[in-house]
Every structure is written in structure tokens, then in C-alpha cells.
Amino acid sequence: MPNPIAAAIQMQSGPVLAANLARADVLVRTAAERGAQLIVLPEVFAWRGLRADEGTAPSPIPGPVSDFLSRLAAELRVILVGGSFLERSAHATRSYNTSLLVDASGAIRATYRKMHLFDVDLPGRVTVRESDGRVPGSDVVTAATELGTIGMSICYDLRFPELYRRLASAGATIITIPAAFTAHTGAAHWEPLIRARAIENQVYVIAPNQTGTSPHGFADYGHSMIVDPWGTVVARAGEGEAVLTAEIDADHLARIRQEMPCLSHARLLS
């Protein structure tokens, strides 16, 4: 039986929900046509605009974004990870940054709310305070699927290895990292961190990123990638929108874990 195929979708999302969903639809269908059974969209794929313009952008669950993901996954018979979108919360002025995993029947199998919020000031480059408009999540989230157990994370989470060890300890063999990594930090840290998380936890990592210039005026890095459990980059994008695909080889993963049994040797667990 052939190995299943995973896809990472690189997008340039903007402040018009309908346009973003229409573009995501096209790119997800392209991935499905290429045989992908697991498709991962980038962070804030559904809406990305200025904080002052958010207004009604946050969506409830169920709501327009979750309904879109469920319909598309069920139609194409794929597992679809809805990158992330702004989920309405009980807080009057802040929303969750949420990733949904939807199975091939259209059912929501897992909901992950971004745990680590991006509050940084890089003088002369970019200043972001995600916590001004977001509520942090607190749960470590995995979902058992026919392709393996999928662990979920979002963007800035990448810098916190303890989350990924907990995902691996919970049985994850595939980890998704939808992102909107900036060009400045991406050029320095995107690939090294993704490869490190794959190597440390002996998992496949699917990391789709935003590309182009964000509505906030800074450049996104692009360079989405899929990395295998040995740390090999098996698919890589440049700049511009793209659909990456790669095989998920369970035998390769099992062999790496058997020959280099680091996970069973761990003495200090987060």
C-alpha cells in the first residue's frame, strides 16, 4: 500500500474573509488532486487585517470558518487542519487564535488554541503584541487519525520545545505548525527550529507559512516545509503561494525510533 501524502499550503491572506476562503478552497483542491490525504493551511488563513479593523472577524464554532473547513474536508474526503483563524471568545475585546482538525467526514476532531502569544519588539523591524487582542489557550492537543496521531501547535509555539515533547509523549507522530513567521526571524530561525522539533521528537512536521507582505506592513517569510523524523526537509517552498506535498512514511518513522530510541531514554520530561 502506498504511503499517505501530506500537503502544506502557503498563502498570502488579507482582510477579506470571502476572498481568503475562496483562495484556500482552490489551493486545498489542488493538494487533494495531487493525492494529499492530510492538508494543512497556514496561520490566520481566513482573515488577516489590522487590529482596528477586526470588528466581526472572529468567528464562533460552529460558524463560517469551521463550516467551510467541514464542508471542504467532507467533499474531498481528506483530513484538513484549518491553519488558524480568529475564534470568538467570551472576552469582549480579545479572541482565540485557533486551529481545527477536521476529519474526512467533516467532523471536528480537535481544537487547539494558540498557547504562546507573540509579543516582541524588534527595533526598526517589527513590533507585535499578540496578547493585546488574543486570549492564550492552555491545552496540549493531539488527535488520533488513520494516518497517525497528529499533534497541534501554531507559529510562535515553535520556540517552546517543552510543548512538542508533551505532544510526542502523548503519542504524536505528525505535528502541524501553521505559521505567519516574519521574514526577519524566519531567515534566522524558521528552518533550524522546525528541523530541531522534528529531530528531537522523531516526528513528521508540516509547517505551512504565510508569504508576501502582511496587512501590518512587514514581510512574511514563506519557505513552508515538510520535515521528516530524521530532520530531512522533504518538501520546501520559496516565496509566493504554493502547495507542497510529501509522503508520510510510518515505516521510516518506526525505524528511526527503533534505531535511535531517544524518546524512551528521556530522563527529564516537561
Question: Is-contact 65 111, C-beta < 8 A?
Answer: no
Q: Write down the catalytic residue from 87, 114, 130, 241.
A: 114
> 3: which DSSP letter?
P
The residue type found at 190 is W
The residue type found at 197 is R
The residue type found at 246 is A
Alpha helices in the chain (DSSP H): 17-33, 64-76, 161-169, 183-185, 191-201, 250-259, 262-265
User: Residue 7's closest CA among 129, 151, 143, 178?
Assistant: 178
The whole-angstrom separation of Cα 22 and Cα 220 is 21
Q: Write down the catalytic residue from 87, 130, 155, 241.
A: 155
Return the exposure string of 108-142: e unless at least 16 CB atoms fall within 10 Å of the residue's CB, then b.
bbbbbbbbbbbeeeeeeebebebeebbbebeebbb
Q: Is 247 marked active-site?
A: no
Q: Is 155 marked active-site?
A: yes
Q: Write down the catalytic residue from 43, 87, 130, 241.
A: 43
Q: 243 φ, ψ to 5°?
A: -125, 115
Q: Is 114 marked active-site?
A: yes
- What number of residues does the chain have? 270
Residues assigned a catalytic role: 43, 114, 155
